[in-house]
Amino acid sequence: MGKTQGDAAGGDAFDEMLAELAERRQEFREQCYVPRDFVARLKRLGLYRASTPERFGGETLPPAEFLRKIERISAVDGSTGWVASFGSQLVYLGSLPLETQAEIYSDGPDVVFAGALFPVQQATPTERGFLVNGRWKFASGCMAADIVCVGIPGDDSTSGRPRGALVRPERLEIVRDWDVVGMRGTGSFDLVAEDVEIGREWTFIRGGEPVIDEPLYRYPAITYAAQSLSVVSAGVARAALDFAEQEGAGRASITGAPGLADRAYYRAGIAEAEAALRSARAYFYEAADEAWRELAAGRLVGDRHNAHMRLSAAHLARTASEVVHKVVSLSGTAAIYHDHPLQALLGDALVPQEHAFLSPAMYDAAGAVLMGRAPTVPAFR
């Protein structure tokens, strides 16, 4: 089936966004966040309504389709891909009362959500909710967020699981302390609350039972978050391989040695890395596509299938990082300079595999489920 005129126009707009991103990514890295004007551009492309409930004006994208868009962005700039990936995470809010959700989307479906759940901080019960105090880390994208989430303790009603508490960012202090080697532009700053009261109806359990009856809200929420972060690494690795193949074809050695493309170890190493990334990526998208087909057919995603989604996400993040490291190791002394393009990609590739959702522990947890045991980590789906 060919593209419609609307599809073509949408594709043109996406390509134009990527072209602007290529021009501005250094700006974002230097200021350590993606600014509101560029996030507004992502909004216009529908990335922040892709997981909004359709009853509130959302335009659902199947997860794999959303993930492919994030991968393309990340191939230009990993930090912007990371921030854009939070367009998937409105599914977290599906367990909120419908009245609360209606208020969240009262100004339209394009809502930018950011979260800083940990470390869980003090919350004193009040008549209407909780009085919240504390400091939370890693609030990626908070500089352009419409609403943010902080972590507070659970109680008997949550089976001990911590709550997420939603608050407008202007009620918190944003501490700009993001000084890192990778994903510098994500704006993953700290959030600070001092005696901020939050109504109980604005709190939720991450991964809690949704009150929205739509297919996307039956897709495992925490798994979708893990996939959305993992696919950023695939884009970063793609950028490294594209760079390596172009460099190999064009650069001569300053020592008079054969050019990179004339060295067997370089050709073989880059080809091996290409195969590794494409293999991990195929497993990742296969698991996402199969899950969506199950939901579209009115069936639920089973525990074994969820384990494959978690495993493929962790494996993609690890493989992508290994691919970028391999490219650097093959690229000679040019890659050791701070301003070499591979240095930024190397730092960006490090970050996704370090996220708790994508850590090596996911291999053990997935293996346990595939062998009929309980997952060995909490919040596995």
Tell me what the mean pLDDT of segment 206-211 comes to.
Answer: 86
Say what the pLDDT of residue 318 is. Answer: 98
According to DSSP, the residues that pair with 129 across neighbouring strands are: 199
Cα angle 172-177-180, degrees, rounded to a multiple of 5: 140
CA distance 369 to 377: 11
Say what the pLDDT of residue 258 is. Answer: 81
CA distance 140 to 327: 28
Tell me what the mean pLDDT of segment 48-59 comes to.
Answer: 98
Tell me what the mean pLDDT of segment 292-299 comes to.
Answer: 95
Q: For the chain, which domains are there?
A: 5-95 (1.10.540.10), 112-205 (2.40.110.10), 219-370 (1.20.140.10)
For residue 9, pLDDT beyond 90: no
Distance (Å) of CA 13 to CA 19, 21, 87, 188, 307: 10, 12, 18, 27, 36
Task: Please name which of 178, 301, 290, 288 lies closest in space to residue 234, comparing C-alpha atoms.
Answer: 288
CA distance 118 to 371: 31
A 10 A CB-CB count for 231 gives 33
Q: What confidence tier does 11 reach under pLDDT thresholds 50, 70, 90?
A: confident
pTM of this prediction?
0.94
**DSSP code, position 140:** T
Q: What confidence tier does 4 reach under pLDDT thresholds 50, 70, 90?
A: very low
CA distance 346 to 181: 9
According to DSSP, the residues that pair with 224 across neighbouring strands are: none
Burial group, residue 322, by CB count within 10 angstroms (0-12, 13-18, 19+): middle
Q: What confidence tier does 10 reach under pLDDT thresholds 50, 70, 90?
A: low
Say what the pLDDT of residue 255 is. Answer: 59
More confident residue, 4 or 353: 353
For residue 32, pLDDT beyond 80: yes
Residue with the two structure tokens 């040019």: 334
Tell me what the mean pLDDT of segment 310-329 comes to.
Answer: 98
For residue 287, pLDDT beyond 50: yes
CA distance 164 to 136: 12
Average pLDDT, the chain: 94
